Amino acid sequence: MANTRIVAALLGNGHIGLVEQDVPPLKPGTVLVDVRNSLVSPGTELGGWRGLRRQLDHPDPNAKPHPFGYSNAGVVAAVGEGVSEFAVGDRVACIGAGYAMHTDVAVVPHHLCVKLPESVSFAQGSYAMLAATALQALRRLAPEFGEYTCVVGLGIVGQLTAQLLRLAGTYVIGWDTIALRNEIAHRCGIDATARVGADDEVAATGKFTDGRGLDAAVLAFGGDANTAMASVEKSMKVSPDGHPMGRIVVVGGPRFEYTSTLTNLDIRRASRTGPGYHDEAWEFGAPYPPVFMRWTTRTNLELCMRLIGEGRLKVDALTTHLISLRDVDKAVAGILDDPDALLGVVFEMSS
């Protein structure tokens, strides 16, 4: 393995460049990975594709290159002291900001890595971070079998959350402003969708629930969410005294005013991938006792990889672009003019 690596970085002029770095040291509790694929999260990593487009038009010449990425997959090339669950040659999915970057070589804490089932490709495994984020949102929602649920925002996390809610036995309607995302959700088996701005999402949801209203909803997008929240509130089930009821999970960065009419709604925040993430003592060290902590970031990741391998969680349909890391700037620049035509962008490390 070489002593240096290449890493994708956001440049001040709005382009994505490749920078050369020293490979981080293999510390105790870490795994050295020969990366094969990584997944771009447009919202959190690039500020949305439109944001990157704006930066191209208004460059900042003083900005330093910003390496990015937090979800990749590859082959174990070496293991650090204290790592016993991985061996050289294991196929793994890895997560973690500052660790599982868009790079050809990564050093990742061992509890942020999981083995890939044989039926899961590296490209599929690169969805690990966002799949576990979606699973944690589901756990926070605590869905019950047969409930009516809604996912607002059918980006990658929203798509995966909607699929998981169906696996959990709920009936799911998805809302998004972009036609392609609604089409992809249908291909992945979501029960119904409404295109915000073209359809009346409240009326469509009322029909979907047979007039009963939603039991639960997930907000899975960033930015101003006041209008969306108002529509969700109108779509929830209502108590005899006229109060909207139910559970709403907020994942990502939606912002909305907490009004008095939301009082009887149970609003919950879902953050990251599950217990353990950003706890360095856990990431690099010993696991939490499974008998007390059944679902951690790692066990969430393992379950997501199993579901992908069994064909129950569909990620191939989410991938709209496969891009060689060596050609990343030219390829990304070529798709920025039509951000509504893309969803999952997977980088490929082979030259």
167-200 pLDDT, tens digit each:
999 999 999 999 999 999 999 999 999 999 999 9
Rounded to an integer, what distance in angstroms lies between the CA atom of residue 351 and that of residue 345? Answer: 17
288 lies in the same domain as 327: yes
pLDDT at 11: 85
Residue 57 has pLDDT above 80, yes or no: no
For residue 326, the enclosing domain spans: 4-127+275-348
Single out the residue in 249, 270, 291 at which a domain terminates. Answer: 270
160 lies in the same domain as 283: no
11 lies in the same domain as 98: yes
Do residues 35 and 104 lie in contact, with contact meaning Cβ atoms separated by under 8 Å? yes
143 lies in the same domain as 245: yes
Residues in CB range of 347: below 8 A, 6 or more apart: 8, 37, 38, 39, 40, 102, 323, 324, 325, 328
pLDDT at 94: 98
Q: Considering its fold, how many domains does the chain have in total? A: 2
Residues in CB range of 135: below 8 A, 6 or more apart: 160, 164, 273, 274, 300, 303, 304
**Domain with 57 in it: what CATH number?**
3.90.180.10
Work out the angle between the directed axes of helices 297-309 and 128-141 (0-180°, nearest 10): 110
pLDDT at 136: 98
- Location of structure tokens 């939606």: 254
Single out the residue in 270, 302, 333 at which a domain terminates. Answer: 270
Do residues 216 and 247 lie in contact, with contact meaning Cβ atoms separated by under 8 Å? yes
75 lies in the same domain as 33: yes
288 lies in the same domain as 223: no
Q: pLDDT tier at 49 (50, 70, 90 boundaries)? A: low
168 lies in the same domain as 261: yes
255 lies in the same domain as 303: no
Strand residues in the chain grouped as ranges (E): 4-10, 16-22, 30-40, 66-67, 71-79, 91-95, 105-109, 113-115, 148-152, 171-176, 192-195, 216-220, 223-224, 237-238, 244-251, 254-255, 265-270, 319-324, 344-348
pLDDT at 1: 64
Q: Is residue 152 part of a domain?
A: yes
The sheet with strand 4-10 has its strands ordered as: 16-22, 4-10, 66-67
Rounded to an integer, what distance in angstroms lies between the CA atom of residue 190 and that of residue 303? Answer: 20
Q: Is residue 20 part of a domain?
A: yes
Share of the chain above pLDDT 90, in %: 81
**Domain with 265 in it: what CATH number?**
3.40.50.720
